[in-house]
Amino acid sequence: MQFKLRLNEEFVARIEELALKYNRRSANEIAAEIVMEFLDIWEQAEAAKRGILDQHKKLVKQSSARIARKS
């Protein structure tokens, strides 16, 4: 399966430079490695953000309920 990314020129130039510097076959090889290595870290960060947002919503709901009871 192929997957295409549209990357800005600065990023592409940097990956191409690193491919030459570290004797990699291509910039695509580096990009694929980066995605594979950091996908789990990205997923963990997204789950943590979602957890924080869910907790915040719960606290707001509880606070609103307390305020409504006092009124």
Rg of the Cα trace of the chain? 22
Asked if pLDDT for residue 64 goes beyond 80, the answer is yes
Would you place residue 4 in the very low, low, confident or very high pLDDT band (cuts 50, 70, 90)? confident
Provide the pLDDT for residue 3: 79
Residue 42 token pair: 């990205």
Quick: pLDDT tens for 13-49. Answer: 999 999 999 999 999 999 889 999 999 999 999 999 9
Question: Mean pLDDT across the stretch 47-63?
Answer: 91
Write down the number of H helices and E strands in the chain: 2, 0
In the chain, where are the structural domains located?
9-70
Higher pLDDT, 2 or 50: 50
Beta strands in 7-66 (DSSP E): none
